[in-house]
A and B are shown apart, each in its own frame.
Chain A
Amino acid sequence: MQVKSQSFKENSKKALNDKTLQKALTKVRGNFINKRKKAVDELPEFDTLRDNARDIKNHTLDNLDLYLEEFEKKVVDQGGHVHWAQTASDARGQILDICRKANAKTVTKGKSMISEEIELNDFLEASGITPVETDLGEYIIQLRNEAPSHIIAPAVHLTMDQVREDFIKAHSHLPDDRLLEDPQSLLLEAREVLREKFMEADVGITGANFLVAETGTSVIVTNEGNGDLTQSLPRVHIVIASLEKLVPTLEDMSQIMRVLARSATGQKMSVYTTLSSGPKRKDDPDGPDEYHVILLDNGRTDMLGTEFQEMLRCIRCGACMNHCPVYQQVGGHAYGWVYPGPMGAVLTPNLIGVDKSGHLPNASTFCGRCEEVCPMRIPLPKMMRHWREREFEKHLTPPAQGRNLKLWLMLVKRPNLYRKVVRIASFGLRLFGFRKSRTGFLPMAGAWTKDRDMPTPEGKPFLSQYKGKQKIS
C-alpha cells in the first residue's frame, strides 16, 4: 500500500467534499457510539475491567520475551510451527514458502489487519496465488480493490447502494433484478459465493485477536463465522499476528474479551469466538493438517521501553476512531495508510516513520475522547504530543508554524511588551469589528475567516483595565 499520509490535508479535503462518503460516515456517528454506550452502561464493573485489561497487557509487555518463548514451546509441542518475522517482507516470504510447499492455488482469508500491514494480497497475487477475503467487509473492498477504512468495519466508508452495485457487477451469474436490500441479504449472497471458495482453498490465513501463552492458542472473534471455515477447512492453517497480541493465560484473555466486543460493536461478546491450538489431532473429526503461526515484529520491539510502549496494549477495537471528531468527518482513507484514527495517529509513525506521517499526530483537537473510551486506557493524546515533541526536536515542524510559535514566544515571555501589543491588537481588532463585534475578514486569519466570522474584542484588554490587588506581599 502506497503511503499517502503526507497528503492528509488534501485527502481530507476530498473526503469532506465526497457526498456519498459523508452519507456512509453517519453510520459511525450513530451506530457504534450509541451501542457502545448502552453496553458499557449495563456493566457497572466496566471501568474495573479496563484497569485489569491494562494491567494484564502491561505485565505481558514487561515480560514479553518469556511469554513468547512459552507460546512457541506450546505450539511446537502441539505439532504446530512458529515462524519469527522481523519485517513485513520476512512474513510474506514465510507465508509464500508454506503456500508453495502446500501447492496452494487458492488461499482463503479471515479478517486481519496484519495482512493489510504486510500487503499480503498483492504479494500473493503477484506470486500466482489467489487470495479470497471471507469477511464480508473485506470481501467487498477486495472486489473494489480498496484498502480498509476502519480496523473493524473495513467497508464502513461505503453505502448500501455502492455495495449492491459491486455485487451485481461481480456476481454476474445471479439474476440482475434480485433484491439486495439490507446487510443481511448481502451477507447471504457473499456466503453463497464464498462457499465454493472455502471448499477449493488449500490454505487458510487468519489473524489473531489474542495469542495465549499458557496453551499456545490463537483466538479470533468474528460475527460471521467465516473465520472458523477459513481455519478448519483447508489443509493448512496459517495464523499471522504481531507479537503484542500475546496474553499469559486463557483467564487473562477472557478478561480482556469482556471489554473488547463492548467497546467495538456494543455486543457483550462477538458471535463467534474461535480458539485454535494446533493441527488436527488423531481423534479430531476435522481441522488442518498443518498449523503455522507467523509472529511479526515489524517495529514493535523498538517501541518497548519508549514513551510509545503503551500503544502495544491496543486490542484493535476501533472505539477511538468511532469517537474521534476528525475520523468522523474524514473517514479512514484520508489517514493514508493501514491504521486510521487516533490509534493510527500514534502507531503509524512508529511503523513507517514520523517523516512520512507527521500530519497524523498533529491532526487532532486533543479533545481526549479517544482516551476516554479506550478499553485499554491508552493515553492516545499524550502519545500524539510525544510525536509532536519528536518532530519539534528534529525540526520537522512546518516552517510557518515554527515562525508563528517563535513570534508568540517572544511576546509571552515579555509581560510588559505583551500588554502593549495586546492593547494595540485589541484596538485594531475592534476597528474591524466596529459595531458588529465580529468580522468576516481579517488579514492573516484567512484560514479561520473563510468559513467563520472572527469575534472581536469587546473592549480594552482586561489586564490594562484591572486596577485591583495584584500581590499578597
Chain B
Amino acid sequence: MSKEPRVGLFVTCLVDLFRPSVGFAAVKLLEDAGCDVYVPITQTCCGQPAWNSGDKVDTAELAISVIKAFEEFDYIVAPSGSCAGMLKKHYPEVFANDPAWKERTEKFSEKCYELTSFLTDVMGVRKVWAEHSANVTYHDSCAGLRELKIKKQPRILLNSMKGINLSEMTDNETCCGFGGTFSVKYSDISNAIVTEKSGHIEDANVDLLLAGDMGCLMNMAGKLKRQGSKVEVRHVAEVLAGMTDKPPIGGKA
C-alpha cells in the first residue's frame, strides 16, 4: 500500500442526481484526511432497490460491476450509511452460496465504509477545520446506525467544528419513514412516520437538520418544507467540508 491510502468514492445515485455538492464535499474531506481519491464515473447504483425487491439475480449482476470497478482501491467509501451497508453487509449475503464470487466479495466488502466513520475510525480524524454557525440536530439514519454502528462518529466531527451547537431531538434513532420504495408504495404510512419525525425536529429548536443519507434527508426536508418549517436541511458532509454555499436540500423556507 502506498503511503496515502487510495480511496474509491462510491458517490451513490441520489447524491449524483440530487446533491452533487455532497460528492465534492466527500472528495475534499477524504483528501484533507490524507487520502488519494478516485471516482470511477461508470458507477451507477449499488443495487439496493433490486435487493429489497427480492430480485437476487439482477442484484448480483449490479454487485459484480461495482466490485469490478472498485476492488482495486484500498478502501471504498460512500457518503451514505444505507449504500455503504449494502456494499459492506449485504454484498456478502448476495454471494454467500456462490463459490465463484464469495471470497472476492468478502475481500471487497471488508474495505467498504461510510464516509464519517471512515474518517474517524480508519483515518483517525478528530478535528475538521471548517466553521459553520448553527444550532443543529442530527438524525441517525437506520442502516448506518444499525448495520454499521454509526452513532458517535459524525458527532465527534461536528463537535470539533467552530460554531456548531449540537443538540439531540427526541427519538433520534427512530426511522424517518423513507425506506426507499416504501415511501411511495406505502406513502400514507410513510407520511405518518415522517410527520411525527418533523414534530420532533421542530421541538428541538434548531436551525439545521443534518444526517448522513440523502434518502432520509429528502424525505424529512420534503415534509418540513411542505409544513412551512424554517429548519434547513443538509447532508453532514457539506457542513463538515465547509461547502454550504448551495441552498439547503429542498431550499430555504
- Find the B residue at minimum CB distance from A437: B251
Q: Which of B147, B188, B191, B252 meets A368, CB within 8 Å?
A: B147
Assess whether A2 is interfacial by the CB under 8 Å rule. Answer: no
The 9 lowest CB-CB distance pairs between A and B, nearest first, are: A365-B179, A437-B251, A388-B54, A452-B222, A392-B54, A367-B175, A462-B23, A462-B20, A389-B54
User: Hey, which chain A residues are within 8 Å of B192, CB to CB?
Assistant: 16, 329-330
Q: Which of A57-65, A73-81, A313-321, A403-411 contacts B (4 or more CB under 8 A)?
A: A403-411
State the B residues within 8 Å of A (CB): 6, 11, 13, 15-24, 27, 36-45, 47, 49-56, 58, 61-62, 65, 72-73, 93, 142-143, 146-147, 173-175, 177-196, 217-219, 221-223, 225-226, 246-252
Measured in the bound complex, the distance between the Cα atoms of B251 and A401 in whole Å is: 30
Residue contact B54 to A397, C-beta cutoff 8 Å = yes
Q: Which of A325, A391, A437, A440 meets B193, CB within 8 Å?
A: A325
Assess whether A438 is interfacial by the CB under 8 Å rule. Answer: yes
Measured in the bound complex, the distance between the Cα atoms of B38 and A473 in whole Å is: 11
Q: Which of A89-97, A237-245, A412-420 contacts B (4 or more CB under 8 A)?
A: A412-420
Residue contact B72 to A461, C-beta cutoff 8 Å = no
Given contacts A391-B54, A405-B53, A405-B55, contact A367 B6 (CB under 8 A): no
- Find the B residue at minimum CB distance from A470: B40
Assess whether A460 is interfacial by the CB under 8 Å rule. Answer: yes
Q: Which of B43, B72, B180, B219 meets A415, CB within 8 Å?
A: B43
User: Hey, which chain A residues are within 8 Å of B251, CB to CB?
Assistant: 433, 436-438, 455
Measured in the bound complex, the distance between the Cα atoms of B42 and A422 in whole Å is: 13
User: Hey, which chain B residues are within 8 Å of A409, CB to CB?
Assistant: 50, 55, 58
Measured in the bound complex, the distance between the Cα atoms of B20 and A389 in whole Å is: 33
Measured in the bound complex, the distance between the Cα atoms of B18 and A448 in whole Å is: 16
Residue contact B142 to A385, C-beta cutoff 8 Å = no
Q: A393-B54, A413-B44, A453-B225 are in contact. List 11 more A-B contacts (CB 8 A).
A: A390-B54, A415-B44, A416-B42, A437-B252, A448-B184, A455-B251, A457-B20, A458-B247, A459-B20, A462-B24, A472-B72
Closest CB of chain B to A8's CB: distance in Å?
A: 9
State the A residues within 8 Å of B (CB): 9, 12-13, 16, 325-326, 329-330, 362-369, 371-372, 382, 385, 387-393, 397, 401, 405, 408-409, 411-413, 415-416, 418-419, 422, 425-426, 429, 433, 436-438, 440, 445, 447-448, 450-463, 465-466, 468-473
Closest CB of chain A to B58's CB: distance in Å?
A: 5
Measured in the bound complex, the distance between the Cα atoms of B179 and A453 in whole Å is: 17
Measured in the bound complex, the distance between the Cα atoms of B182 and A114 in whole Å is: 31
Measured in the bound complex, the distance between the Cα atoms of B21 and A459 in whole Å is: 8
Closest CB of chain A to B245's CB: distance in Å?
A: 10
Given contacts A12-B189, A438-B250, contact A412 B62 (CB under 8 A): yes
Residue contact B44 to A461, C-beta cutoff 8 Å = no
User: Hey, which chain A residues are within 8 Å of B44, CB to CB?
Assistant: 411-413, 415, 418
User: Hey, which chain B residues are within 8 Å of A469, CB to CB?
Assistant: 36-39
Residue contact B52 to A368, C-beta cutoff 8 Å = no
User: Hey, which chain A residues are within 8 Å of B21, CB to CB?
Assistant: 458-459
Residue contact A470 to B179, C-beta cutoff 8 Å = no
User: Hey, which chain B residues are within 8 Å of A436, CB to CB?
Assistant: 251
The CB with the most chain B CB atoms within 10 A, among A16, A412, A457, is that of: A412
Q: Which of A385, A433, A468 meets B52, CB within 8 Å?
A: A385
8 contacts between A and B (CB under 8 A): A12-B186, A325-B174, A365-B182, A369-B142, A405-B50, A412-B13, A455-B221, A465-B24
Closest CB of chain B to A155's CB: distance in Å?
A: 22
Measured in the bound complex, the distance between the Cα atoms of B221 and A415 in whole Å is: 29
Residue contact A452 to B194, C-beta cutoff 8 Å = yes
User: Hey, which chain A residues are within 8 Å of B183, CB to CB?
Assistant: 447-448
Measured in the bound complex, the distance between the Cα atoms of B40 and A419 in whole Å is: 12
Q: Which of A364, A382, A390 meets B182, CB within 8 Å?
A: A364
Residue contact A367 to B222, C-beta cutoff 8 Å = no
Given contacts A329-B193, A411-B44, contact A426 B17 (CB under 8 A): yes
Given contacts A413-B61, A453-B226, contact A419 B41 (CB under 8 A): yes
Q: Which of B11, B24, B55, B246 meets A392, CB within 8 Å?
A: B55
Residue contact A461 to B39, C-beta cutoff 8 Å = no
Measured in the bound complex, the distance between the Cα atoms of B219 and A461 in whole Å is: 20
- Find the A residue at minimum CB distance from B226: A453
Q: Which of A401, A455, A463, A466 meets B185, CB within 8 Å?
A: A401
Given contacts A388-B53, A422-B16, A455-B221, contact A367 B73 (CB under 8 A): no
User: Hey, which chain A residues are within 8 Å of B55, CB to CB?
Assistant: 389, 392, 405, 409
Given contacts A469-B37, A469-B39, contact A385 B54 (CB under 8 A): yes
Residue contact B174 to A365, C-beta cutoff 8 Å = no
Given contacts A425-B17, A447-B187, A472-B38, contact A459 B246 (CB under 8 A): yes
Q: Which of B16, B93, B185 meets A461, CB within 8 Å?
A: B16
Residue contact B189 to A16, C-beta cutoff 8 Å = yes
Q: Which of A372, A425, A433, A471 meets B40, CB within 8 Å?
A: A471
Measured in the bound complex, the distance between the Cα atoms of B18 and A426 in whole Å is: 7
The CB with the most chain A CB atoms within 10 A, among B174, B249, B251, is that of: B251
User: Hey, which chain B residues are within 8 Å of A452, CB to CB?
Assistant: 191, 194, 219, 222-223, 226
User: Hey, which chain B residues are within 8 Å of A416, CB to CB?
Assistant: 42
Measured in the bound complex, the distance between the Cα atoms of B161 and A165 in whole Å is: 58
Measured in the bound complex, the distance between the Cα atoms of B192 and A368 in whole Å is: 18
Measured in the bound complex, the distance between the Cα atoms of B62 and A286 in whole Å is: 67
User: Hey, which chain A residues are within 8 Å of B53, CB to CB?
Assistant: 388, 392, 397, 401, 405
Residue contact A405 to B49, C-beta cutoff 8 Å = yes
User: Hey, which chain A residues are within 8 Å of B146, CB to CB?
Assistant: 367-369, 371-372
Measured in the bound complex, the distance between the Cα atoms of B15 and A38 in whole Å is: 39
User: Hey, which chain A residues are within 8 Å of B173, CB to CB?
Assistant: 369
Q: Which of B73, B184, B188 meets A13, CB within 8 Å?
A: B188
Residue contact B222 to A463, C-beta cutoff 8 Å = no
Closest CB of chain A to B157's CB: distance in Å?
A: 22
Residue contact B43 to A463, C-beta cutoff 8 Å = yes
Closest CB of chain A to B248's CB: distance in Å?
A: 8
Closest CB of chain A to B242's CB: distance in Å?
A: 16
Measured in the bound complex, the distance between the Cα atoms of B147 and A469 in whole Å is: 30
Residue contact A365 to B17, C-beta cutoff 8 Å = no
Residue contact A363 to B221, C-beta cutoff 8 Å = no
- Find the A residue at minimum CB distance from B141: A367
Q: Which of A9, A389, A458, A472 meets B18, CB within 8 Å?
A: A458
- Find the A residue at minimum CB distance from B251: A437
Measured in the bound complex, the distance between the Cα atoms of B16 and A422 in whole Å is: 8
Closest CB of chain B to A397's CB: distance in Å?
A: 7
Measured in the bound complex, the distance between the Cα atoms of B94 and A382 in whole Å is: 12
